[in-house]
Homo-oligomer: A and B are copies of this chain.
Amino acid sequence: MTYARMNAEERKAEYTRVQQEYRALKEKNLNLNMARGKPSKEQIDQANGLFELMRDPADYVTDGIDVRTYGELAGIPAARRLFAEVLGCRPEQVFVGGNSSLQLMYDTISKAYTHGLLHSPRPWCKEERVKWLCPVPGYDRHFKVTETFGFELLSIPMTEEGPDMDAVEAAVQDPAVKGIWCVPKFSNPEGIIFSDAVIRRMAALKPAAPDFLIMWDNAYCIHEFEGPFTPFPDMLSLCEENGNADMVFEFFSTSKITMPGAGIACFACSEGNMAYMKKLIDIQTIGFDKVNQQRQVLFLQNKAHMLEMMRERAKIMAPKFRCVTETLEREIAPLEIADWKYPKGGYFISLDAMPGTAKRTLELCREAGVTMTGAGATFPYGKDPKDSNIRIAPSLPPVEELREAIAVLCVCLKLSALEALGV
């Protein structure tokens, strides 16, 4: 029977029963962390081959460039070609940086703030106000980048096929609205793949701001863990076809393909943006770590090989996601106290608990030794207006630990729902 249909007495009995379960779990003194989308040790071990490379002096040189010395601000040509192949754009549109795509994103926004973008009338720090569109639920680290520069964050609801484009099209009529965050494939946290229709409307936007910026974070574009690889369109071409060539910066990294924090990241953009950004970045650095770029290229080889590697990766990831959804299916579905998505790739499962219970649920989890992403994290300013969304990050713990953690989550979902319904 669902909790909502129970009468007061039934709920009270259920509450007592679940409390007993909770106490039993607490006595296990668990200490499990599922706060972030951290790859597991098993998963990272799949990339240890990186350490076997660069032993042949012939590998020091690529396209005539000694990767060990200064130069090649935009990255080694082989890395630019590799990412262009993955993203479906041209190598000249790719800038290969260091180990962090977040840093490239931050720096893009930061340079818009300090210097302005290609079509900015002035640096954004000289604007009276800057507003920014945040599809929700979304990625907390994205939101924080735009928050730290003092932008006003506006929530845009996510639909089953991406951001609500009616809302986006209406919002960009305001010239103070300067951009939007997007994770177009396996969105964080919902795992939604933007539909073709959404992507086409996004590429065809006619924003009032001449320097409107789509931050297209394609972090999970080859990160299927279930089913075949889903091709995705090249957003750069689509924008170009719509006369919006300079409106988008796309981001990608190998952090969740090779090693977290020891991979390489890139941005891709129009040739106009590339020339503009290279001039600015040239003041910031002589160049990024080309030895590691070469190491990653030698290891990853090409798109086909990368997809093959990701199929191996899927064998580690899929059982973890199944463990979560099967447990929720069994324990929570019959009670009708939460909804969740069934992603086929990415790093997260997004769960909507009964409104007003997310914070309480995660507090109960923490007391039982299970740390999850904080409630509200998936909304601007960390404030979920419905106090409902919970991001589950199943990648780090082994399946056995994950099973325990999800058991705790289910019990806490029940307790908080019963409390909310009145016991």
The residues of A with any CB-CB pair to B shorter than 8 Å are 36, 38-39, 41, 44, 47-48, 51-52, 54-55, 57, 66-71, 98-100, 102-103, 106-107, 110, 113-115, 123, 125-126, 141, 144-145, 148-149, 259-262, 280, 283-292
Contact = CB atoms under 8 A, between A and B. Distances in A.
A47 B54 CA distance: 13
Contacts of A287: 100, 261
A145 B113 CA distance: 16
A76 B285 CA distance: 22
Contacts of A261: 68-71, 286-291
B286 A100 contact: yes
14 contacts: A52-B55, A68-B259, A69-B260, A69-B261, A70-B260, A98-B98, A102-B284, A110-B114, A110-B284, A114-B149, A125-B125, A259-B291, A262-B291, A292-B292
A286 B51 contact: no
List 6 tightest A-B contacts by C-beta distance, closest first: A262-B291, A125-B125, A106-B284, A99-B289, A103-B285, A51-B54
A289 to B, nearest CB: 4
A289 B293 CA distance: 12
A144 B281 CA distance: 12
Q: Of A44, A126, A141, A289, which is in contact with the most chain B CB atoms at under 10 Å from its CB?
A: A289
Contacts of A110: 110, 114, 284
B113 A114 contact: yes
Contacts of A292: 262, 289, 292
Given A38-B70, A70-B260, A289 B98 contact: yes
A39 B70 CA distance: 9
A388 B385 CA distance: 66
A38 to B, nearest CB: 6
Nearest to A263: B289
B289 A262 contact: yes
Given A44-B69, A99-B98, A149-B114, A106 B285 contact: yes
A401 B372 CA distance: 62
A260 B51 CA distance: 20
Nearest to A265: B285
Contacts of A47: 68
B70 A36 contact: yes
A347 to B, nearest CB: 12
A287 B262 CA distance: 9
Given A288-B99, A292-B292, A69 B259 contact: yes
A298 B346 CA distance: 35
Contact of A44 (B51, B68, B113, B284): B68
Contacts of A98: 98-99, 288-289
Nearest to A55: B51
Contacts of A113: 114, 125
B102 A286 contact: yes
A110 B145 CA distance: 15
Given A66-B44, A98-B289, A145 B38 contact: no
A67 B262 contact: yes
Given A98-B98, A98-B99, 6 more contacts: A110-B110, A123-B125, A125-B126, A261-B286, A261-B287, A262-B292
Nearest to A66: B41
Contact of A148 (B39, B115, B144, B262): B115
